[in-house]
Amino acid sequence: MRDSEELRRTLRRIDGRGYKAYKDIEGQYDFGSYVLWVEHVQGDPFAAPSNVIVRVPQEKARFPRDTFSNRSREIGLRDYLTRRFHDLAERVREGKRGSGKSGLIAIDRPHQEILERTSVLVDERWVEARIAVGLPAYGRSIAGREAEEMFFRELPHIVAGSLFFDSLDRGALYRHVETNEDADCLRGKLREMGLAAFLADGAVLPRRSGVDPRPLTAGRVIPFKSPPSLRVEVELPNRGRVSGMGIPAGITLIVGGGYHGKSTVLNALELGVYNHIPGDGRELVVADPGAVKIRAEDGRRIEKVDISPFIRGLPFGQDTTAFCTDNASGSTSQAANIIEALEVGATLLLIDEDTSATNFMIRDERMQKLVPKEFEPITPFIDKADQLFRDYGVSVILVIGGSGDYFDIAHHVICMVNYEPRDVTERARAIAADHVARRVAEGGETFGTLKHRVPLARSVDPQRRGKTKIRARGVRAIEFGGETIDLSSVEQLVDESQTRAIGHALHYATRYMDGKATLREVVERVMGDVGMKGLDVIGPPNRGDYAAFRAFELAAAMNRLRTFTVKT
């Protein structure tokens, strides 16, 4: 390992030379309190920034063992340090220093969710930060003095203020770690309590806007308060006993007038598969980890999915036990989205009628009389939901305001009035008894068999013109070889770093596609490797821009790759 002064001398020596001379600084340097590793130098100032790693020995970082004593606390600590590093990097930057990305010092940027990331790693030996540095240049001539300023003044200031325990706000750090641990504990208790979800009393559910996920603070903000009949209490390791609304397993309807908070509750639940930072308002709003948001998705491709529980008898004899299309309708896409989620183990479906296909959700008595079942291939969800719970134990939380026929199958009905929930289950049952629906159930006696598909490795190929091309395009798209995977309707993705990791995980998954392993087995093996070896396993080593993803979103990306093929 070289002394830090050698880095200074090298920067002065190459000052003004062609950009490729920056390759001379690759390697490790001893900065006294930490090791700086210039792991990869960018090819020019307009290319992706250089990869730089900072490692602080624990004997100098001095993080107490209880800040990372279990998995929850470790991820909470890593998230906190990433945020601290990011905030300091934003403050010390003196603006652009020349061409392209010159002068950049950056780390992966977290949002409202606490996710496992590769940006910061912590163990008993090291605290490691993986950062991006835009090595400065004017045109393509090295700006050595500016680089020296970055490495010897700015970066040491950021490292000193973010990767050493004594420099941090201990109270804030422990709140972050403990909040993450409490949320994991709460989510882990749902099934033993017979619950599909939990919303804490005092939670703030509304967000500032559709593009700002921070909690609403302006105007009248109504903290969440459980109706007495659904209130449960649970003991958490840090907060102690907390109370809130427990949504039992089964079929739950969320009803109410427009703009009274129905979709706000569902949105909080769909993101309740993740933990949230202190002050987010949703810290103790959690959903079953097997929760999947389902919606109609016109135009998506479907590859040999058995949608026959919902759709059969299509004109011209089209097979729905291995249904294929390059341009799905609302109803066929929603049916496929449900079956694909079940295929990889979903245990809770979250559905909003606003984003559903109407003819998939309900067929009333009058329409049944006008169009006999023999001419209607769709079996509506109302006739399959109870079977799904009875046969497979899969719960449903459904936002609905347009069809009281669902009262007949609901186990619980929650009415939102001015953003306040009321348990109206008994009232809904009384209405159902007084106004008997005369529609005929069309779903048969059972939900049907869930079939497994076997993915073919040759159809998951990121090669383009002889090179591997995998790139996230924001949160909602992946460039994969010559294809673009559209994830705009995969609503539980929250971070571009998740999307990036999923792209690389798709490529990694091909090692398990041997023509025999089912899609679920392939996905489970990938997730098992990630769980045992960390996110680094899926791609090039030492990347700092991956974030944890779920099996459901990995499978969703695979299913939306237009070259994807399976055998059944």
Write down the pLDDT at residue 99: 85
Write down the pLDDT at residue 465: 87
Dump pLDDT digits (tens) for 294-343. 999 999 999 999 999 999 988 878 899 999 999 999 999 999 999 999 99
* Region 467-486 average pLDDT: 97
Using CB atoms within 10 A of its CB, is residue 218 exposed (0-12), middle (13-18) or buried (19+)? exposed
What angle do helix axes 71-92 and 170-189 make, rounded to 10 degrees?
140
For CA atoms 245, 288, 237, 63, the dihedral sign is negative
- Under 8 Å CB-to-CB from 350, ≥6 apart: which residues? 266, 269, 270, 287, 291, 292, 293, 294, 397
Dump pLDDT digits (tens) for 102-126. 999 999 999 999 999 999 999 999 9
Q: State pTM to two decimals.
A: 0.96
Write down the pLDDT at residue 263: 95
- Token match 């559709």: residue? 210
Write down the pLDDT at residue 318: 87
Q: Give 94's pLDDT tier (boundaries 50, 70, 90).
A: low
Cα(468)–Cα(462) distance, integer angstroms: 5
pLDDT over 70 percentage in the chain: 99
pLDDT over 90 percentage in the chain: 94
Cα(501)–Cα(472) distance, integer angstroms: 8
Q: Is the pLDDT of residue 568 over 90?
A: no
What angle do helix axes 496-509 and 519-533 make, rounded to 10 degrees?
120
Write down the pLDDT at residue 97: 75
Dump pLDDT digits (tens) for 127-186. 999 999 999 999 999 999 999 999 999 999 999 999 999 999 999 999 999 999 999 999
Dump pLDDT digits (tens) for 404-452. 999 999 999 999 999 999 999 999 999 999 999 889 999 999 999 999 9
DSSP letter string, 389-452 = HHHH--EEEEE-SS-GGGGGT-SEEEEEETTEEEE-HHHHHHHHHHS---PPP-S-SS--PPP-
For the record, the structure tokens of 136 come out as: 């400065």
Q: Is the pLDDT of residue 260 over 80?
A: yes
Dump pLDDT digits (tens) for 182-225. 999 999 999 999 999 999 999 999 999 989 999 998 878 899 99
Q: Are strands 251-256 and 395-399 parallel, antiparallel or unpaired?
A: parallel
Cα(501)–Cα(503) distance, integer angstroms: 5
Write down the pLDDT at residue 315: 86
